Amino acid sequence: MQFFSTAELLEIGNVPFSTPNDKPFRYEALAYYRKVAEHFGLRVHNYEEAQEIKRKDDGTFEVHTVNRRGQAVVHEGRNVVVATGYFDHPNYLGIPGEDKDKVTHYFREAHPYTRTRVAIIGGSNSAVDAAMELVRVGAHIDMVYRGNGVSEHIKPWVRPLFESMVQKGKISLHLGSRVNEILDDSIRLLHSDGSTSELDNDFVLALTGFRPDRKLLSSVGVEMSEDMDKPVYDPQTMESSVPGIYVGGVIASGRNANEVFIESGRWHGRYIAEHIVGRHRGQTEGE
């Protein structure tokens, strides 16, 4: 997979991201972020699932986890940053055939779909990115979206490229349409004018969004806004309603995950670190 953002927009920690390509590939990004972790000496506990955060009487926290051997582990700290993303629970369509093997709610790599017929359901950033990535491997793409146009939240540097591919016929865009059934070799559409049609396909990518698992935030009492299921936090510091608990990345958004991109979420770490250091400095000077 190749990003549609430049390497500069993916940089963190003032560590340069070098690539010979105009836009970096996924494997380059993974190598870069691994290099950043090694550069700063981050202690990473792989294959360890965080299950609960507990606040102690002295205001510090315990993070209860389970490692890959099934053993319980407890980590302690004065602050906790929750940056678990939002890909935990797909937004299911609830239509016949959604459970077929040819259907997936996650797009990982384009190459398995080379020269196949792929139906993409959705019109937000993930659907647009997948469609453009599939063009590169020669897939035949039908993109189905219920709106009269793709989402207004599409990244501005991506939209012209996508629209060009549609105009050139590399992506067949079906607007004002809903998928009401998935069959073995096709999907059935219901259009806004009441008519129906059927599109042949080998695979279906139902990229209709996700909902994050907020159990870690709820376990420690972080407030959620009722309208958007969004954690209450200070956008200047990323600190939640519970002092010492911070949110970072797309989990800070509500149901509208388009509020946070990789390019904007990369600054959250700086906001958090500056606030923690400033608070610690103030406490030290006050002693």
pLDDT in tens, 101-153: 999 999 989 999 999 999 999 998 889 999 999 999 999 999 999 999 998 88
Residue 108 covered by a domain? yes
- Number of domains present in the structure of the chain: 2
Distance of CA 76 to the CA centre of its chain: 28
Asked, for residue 73, whether it belongs to a domain, the answer is yes
Q: Are residues 149 and 205 in the same domain?
A: yes
Could you read off the pLDDT of 42-93 as tens digits, one per residue? 999 999 999 999 999 999 999 999 999 999 999 999 999 999 987 778 889 9
CATH value at residue 66: 3.50.50.60
State the average pLDDT over residues 14-23: 91
Same domain, 232 and 194: no
Question: Are 103 and 202 in a shared domain?
Answer: yes
Sequence-distant (6+) residues with CB within 8 A of 199 are 119, 142, 144, 174, 186, 187, 189
> Which carries the bigger pLDDT value, residue 263 or residue 225?
225
103 and 204 co-located in one domain? yes
Domain annotation covers residue 187 = yes
Same domain as 190, residue 117: yes
Contact between 229 and 86 (Cβ < 8 Å)? no
Instruction: Check pLDDT > 70 for residue 169.
Output: yes
Mean pLDDT for all residues in the chain = 91
Final residue before a domain boundary, out of 210, 231, 259: 210
Q: Are residues 202 and 140 in the same domain?
A: yes
Residue 98 reports pLDDT greater than 90: yes
174 three-state secondary structure:
strand
> Of the candidates 175, 210, 245, which is a domain's last residue?
210
pLDDT bucket at 284, cuts 50 / 70 / 90:
low
Degrees, nearest 5: CA angle 105-176-123: 35
CA distance linking residue 58 with residue 73, whole number of Å: 20
Residues 80, 217, single domain; the answer is yes
Domain boundary among 148, 177, 210: 210
Which residues span the domain enclosing 133? 93-210
| Residue in this structure with the two tokens 């954690």, named with its chain if needed | 231
